[in-house]
Amino acid sequence: MLRKKINLKVSITFIIVALFFLNSDAQTWNVPADLKAKNSNLKFDDAASKDGEAIYTKNCVSCHGNPGKGNNLVTMNPIPPDLSGAKTQGLTDGELFYILTSGRALMPSFKQILPEVDRWKAIAYIRSFNKSYVQVLSKFDDSKSKLVKVNITFNDKTNMLRVDVKANEKSGVVLLKDAEILLFVNRYFGKLQLDKTLRTNNEGIAIFEFPKDLPGDKNGNVDIVAKVTDQVYGEIESLTKLKIGVPTDKPSLTEQRSIWNVLTKAPIWLIITYLSCVLFVTACLLYVLYGLYKIKNSK
Ligand code: HEC
């Protein structure tokens, strides 16, 4: 009997220990070699790390806790590690950037949430907890992205949007091959992604499907934002206005006269009624004052 109990205890302990090891031995991040070697253009100085601290506090602290303080969310599985730890600090800047950009399961992708420079600033902050860290700056030329031209044209027969990406180098035009492209439509609140994320072909072209009944403004204009990411030319964002939406002429609260808006345009009848009331009350007051004046002088 006693032996059975001990056996049970031993096996339960064994299972718990095994689970613990399984859990703590989280998967490694398989980052492609070229991205692993990626470095930042931004110098990780005090200013960058201070900006990074604000970004970290807003976006990361809820799961990862404050670096070095051990207040990360240990109830989550896998546990979001304390980022000042040796394991995280042993990753390259490129790996950290990749993790922030793509995410994995509970670790969110910050690609759409933080622009590239903010992702680097968050990394600058994480690195500030590592005394032995020495930054290797990227030799990548930031100004190269200015050479890129994004051209979007619409084919109304096929309902397709064609995106052409090229760079006007001094030596001639370079077509951007295998560049990642995301298309968005500007809405009142945020952006709506069109189709999926695509890559340009060998001619620097990607073709997107455009939804048939997308509402535009009253002339049918739609603002299309293309976000291009290229290995050599970096991140480029361009805005194109195209007359391809369904014209929508809804009276907007901000443009029409209405009772309930807080802008300058009240309806005319309301203004007239209001002014008549004010004039009437003022006239009554003046009449009373006149009456008082007459009483005073009637002695
Ligand atoms: C919703 C919770 C959550 C938020 C918010 C979050 N993370 Fe994570 N993060 C995780 C989890 C969970 C993991 C472990 C994922 C895994 O191993 O599969 C992780 C892993 C990481 C890793 C890899 C660490 C290592 O040593 O393997 C880094 C780096 C990282 N996060 C950075 C950040 C940064 C920077 C932010 C804010 C911009 C952030 N995370 C926001 C949950 C979160």
Taking the centre of ligand 1 as the mean of its atom positions, its distance from the CA of residue 83, in whole angstroms, is 8
Q: Is the pLDDT of residue 253 over 80?
A: no
pLDDT bucket at 190, cuts 50 / 70 / 90: confident
pLDDT bucket at 259, cuts 50 / 70 / 90: low
Average pLDDT of the residues in 247-260: 64
Q: Is the pLDDT of residue 14 over 80?
A: no
Ligand 1 pocket test, pick from 23, 36, 64 with the greatest ligand atom count within 8 Å of Cβ, gives 64
Task: Give me the pLDDT at residue 261, please.
Answer: 60
Question: What is the end-to-end Cα distance of the chain in Å, rounded?
Answer: 120
Q: How many CA atoms lie within 13 A of 195 on its CB side?
A: 21
> In whole angstroms, what is the distance from residue 216 CA to residue 237 CA?
21
In this structure, the number of other CB atoms found within 10 A of the CB of residue 297 comes to 7
Could you tell me if the CB of 26 is within 6 A of ligand 1?
yes
Greater confidence, 77 or 256?
A: 77
Average pLDDT of the residues in 247-258: 65
Task: Give me the pLDDT at residue 239, please.
Answer: 93
Ligand 1 pocket test, pick from 40, 61, 63, 96 with the greatest ligand atom count within 8 Å of Cβ, gives 63
In the structure, how many helices (H) and strands (E) does the chain have? 8, 8
Q: Is the pLDDT of residue 255 over 70?
A: no
Mean pLDDT of all residues belonging to the chain? 86
Q: Is the pLDDT of residue 24 over 50?
A: no
Taking the centre of ligand 1 as the mean of its atom positions, its distance from the CA of residue 30, in whole angstroms, is 15
pLDDT bucket at 85, cuts 50 / 70 / 90: very high
Q: Which residues contact 155 (CB under 8 A, 6 or more apart)?
A: 161, 162
Task: Give me the pLDDT at residue 191, please.
Answer: 81
Greater confidence, 244 or 13?
A: 244
> In whole angstroms, what is the distance from residue 64 CA to residue 48 CA?
20
Ligand 1 pocket test, pick from 107, 125, 126, 128 with the greatest ligand atom count within 8 Å of Cβ, gives 107
Could you tell me if the CB of 61 is within 6 A of ligand 1?
no
Q: Is the pLDDT of residue 196 over 50?
A: yes
Average pLDDT of the residues in 125-153: 89
pLDDT bucket at 25, cuts 50 / 70 / 90: very low
Greater confidence, 267 or 23?
A: 267
Task: Give me the pLDDT at residue 180, please.
Answer: 93
Structure pTM?
0.58
Per-residue exposure over 67-102, b if at least 16 CB sit within 10 Å of its own CB, e if not: beeeebeeeeeebbebbbeeebbebebbbbbbbbbe
Token pair in block for residue 123: 């990394």
Could you tell me if the CB of 123 is within 6 A of ligand 1?
no
Task: Give me the pLDDT at residue 263, please.
Answer: 60
